[in-house]
Structure 1
Amino acid sequence: MTTFVTLTAYGLADGAVLALAALGFVLIYKATAVINFAQGEFLLVGAYTFYSSFVIFGLPVTVSVLNGVAIAVILGVAVERFVLRPLIGRSPISVIMVTIGLSAILTAIMQLIFGTEARAMPPVLPRGSIEILGATLPVQRLLVVVVAAVVLTAFTLFFRYSRHGVAMRAVADDQQAALTMGISVRRVFAMAWALAAVSALIAGVLLADITAVDPHIATFGLLVFPVVILGGLDSVPGTIVGGLTIGLIKMYTFGYLDPGLADVIPYIVLVLILLVRPYGLFGETRIERV
């Protein structure tokens, strides 16, 4: 029982971070129909940005977070404006290749500045342990779930009730209709990339706090693809369910089966979902008549 509780707590923490990372992916896809292969690198940039402010410059946590948010917004808007916008109307494969190239460039820049060695970061979330059902669990893992839940709830409320959130949903549903209603589609595109970068920043900071500031954070972002395929490419609630599901499956596989298989099982789930339900659990099924 203690093993199950421990694996569940660790799986929920990893899944919560995955849900935050996948949220940015879904935002970009819903608003712009772009599959962003650089989402993992956005996590990497977010982690190193916070690390620079918090450790190198010695700024308080709150200021470091605000500084990271500002840089994430600038990065997201810059990528949309100068990298993706000139490709409007080009073939999807061209856009995909550009995002793959962007991921390589961001990784190279981070390694050029900070090197390839993992760096320990002073605690951001409180340390300590708590006993639940006989299992001793680290407090920081539980707080990761709480923080991610608050952020995901805030994003959900933003999309549902705010003016900008309604505009983003309108553009995602029908760009031409949104234009006729006076909604700036280009502004919504920029906002989607900015919010995706912010969600990746938060995910990167949480991941760095429970592990380390490491270039391999970007590879963790690859798990975004099983998450969004499971939950649905265009479903925000699906990212939450998909993230938690993949996190739990990965951790249960690690604890009960084979640690090596744990790195593969998310992609096995991805293939199975594509074969059985290609639109995911919550994705919108689109039927095109030709």
Structure 2
Amino acid sequence: MSYFLALVIDGALAGAIYALIALAFVLVYRASSIMNFALGEWIKFGALLAGTGLHVLHLGAVAAMVFAGVAMIALAAGFYRLVVRRLVARPALSATMATLGLGMLMTGSGPLLSSGTQGLLPPSMVIDPIDVGGLVIAADRLAAAGVAALCTALIAGFYRFSRTGIALRAIADDPQAAMSAGIDVDRHLLIVWAMTGVTSVVAGILWTFITGGGFGVALIGLKVFPIVILGGLDSIAGTIVAAIAIGILEYLAAGYLDGPLGSGFGGIAPFLVLLATLMLRPYGLFGQPRVERV
């Protein structure tokens, strides 16, 4: 039983970080109907920028995070101004290829920043595990999940209660009606992409903190797709619930099924859920089916 609980807790802690990443994906999709397939590369690039600020530019930890955040905001704003804004009325495939092209460019330029970014966080920040009634919980995962949950709550609260968030919800429902009501759609879409840049930095730092970095940082972007499809592309609450569920499923599958079915089955279990969701409920558990008048 303790083994089961340990897997559930680790999965839920990982799911908290998945929720933060998936939320960035969903907000961009809802506002501009564009799927950012380069989100994994954004996360890795944000972590590399933070490492560059810390080890190459010799900034403090906070200053390095601010440097990475500002750089990612500039990157997101430039990408939106130069590319996304020109693809608003174009076929979805054009925007998809644009995000994939940006991801390849970021992957190719990543090695230029990787020099000196090993050990993004100092050893003094490594936390000893916590023993709760004989159940050992990784304190670094707990801390990272707590920060991710706080950031997710802030973003969700901003989207739900602020004037900018209300405007973004109006844009998601009907861009033409929002524009006719006096909402500056262009400025608000720019804000969404800038938020994605900042979220990428936070998620990259947190994931590097618990995994040590490497190529797997970019691969976390792939975990977004089962989450957003299961939760529903237009549901923020569904995305958060699905992220926790996918995290728990991944760890349970790895703990119990990797042995009999082969190593790595835990990694593909969420994608099996993705296929099942697409077949049985393509708009997700919490999403709303799109009804069009013929």
Query: Is the shorter-chain TM-score for this pair beyond 0.5, marking a shared fold?
Result: yes
**Structure 2: which amino acid aligns with 1:219?**
L
Match 1:270 to one of 249, 252, 274: 274
Cα RMSD after superposing both structures: 1.8
- Asked if the contact 2:73/2:194 (under 8 Å) is kept, the reply is yes
What's the offset of the Cα at 1:241? 0.9
> Which residue is 1:181 aligned to?
181
**Gaps spanning 5+ residues in structure 2: where?**
none
1:265, CA displacement in angstroms? 0.7
- Report which stretch shifted further, 271-280 or 195-204: 195-204
Aligned to 1:65: 65
Q: 1:268: Cα distance to partner?
A: 0.4
Which of residues 267, 271, 286 in structure 2 aligns to 1:282?
286
Q: What percentage of residue pairs aligned between the two structures are identical?
A: 38
Quick check: 1:120 aligned with 2:119? yes
Paired residues of 2:51 and 2:118 also in contact (CA < 8 A): no
Contact kept? 2:27, 2:192, Cα under 8 Å: yes
CA distance in 1, matches of 2:152, 2:278: 26
2:133 maps to 1:140? no
Take 2:80 and 2:126, find their aligned partners in 1: how far apart are those partners?
36
Task: Give the CA deviation at 1:137.
Answer: 1.6
The letter of the residue matching 1:243 is: A
What SS does the aligned partner of 1:127 have?
Answer: coil
Show the counterpart of 2:96: 96
Q: What's the counterpart of residue 265 of structure 2? A: 261
Question: CA separation in 1, counterparts of 2:18 and 2:255?
Answer: 19
State the alpha-carbon separation in 2 of the partners of residues 205 and 88 from structure 1.
Answer: 31
> In 2, are the aligned partners of 1:48 and 1:213 still within 8 Å (CA)?
no
Residue 210 of structure 1 aligns with an amino acid whose one-letter code is: I
Larger relative CO (CA 8 A, sep 6+): 1 or 2?
1
Call closer, same or farther: CA 1:72–1:125 in 2, change over 3 Å: farther
Take 1:118 and 1:196, find their aligned partners in 2: how far apart are those partners? Answer: 22
TM-score normalised by the chain length of structure 2? 0.93
Q: CA deviation at 1:120?
A: 3.0
Deviation at 1:111, TM superposition (A): 2.5
Maintained 8 Å contact 1:107/1:215:
no
- Report the CA distance shift for 1:124/1:185 in structure 2 as closer, same or farther (over 3 A): farther
Please give the secondary structure, in 2, of the residue aligned with 1:131: strand
Check the 8 A contact 1:25/1:35 in 2, yes or no: yes
123-132 or 279-288, which deviates more: 123-132
Is the CA contact 1:23–1:199 (under 8 Å) kept in the aligned structure 2? Answer: no
Q: Which amino acid aligns with 1:272?
A: A
Map 1:37-48; keep pairs closer than 5 Å.
37-48=37-48
8 Å CA contact 1:5–1:133 kept in 2: the answer is no
Query: Contact 2:144/2:209 (CA < 8 Å) preserved in 1?
Result: no
Aligned residues: 289
For residues 180-232 of structure 1, what are the alpha-carbon distances to aligned partners after superposition, in whole Å with 9 as ceiling and x for unaligned? 11111111111111111211221111000111232331112111101100111
Shift of 1:58: 3.1
For the residue of structure 2 that corresponds to 1:150, the secondary structure is: helix
Higher mean Cα deviation, 32-41 or 58-67?
58-67
What SS class does the counterpart of residue 264 from structure 2 fall into? helix
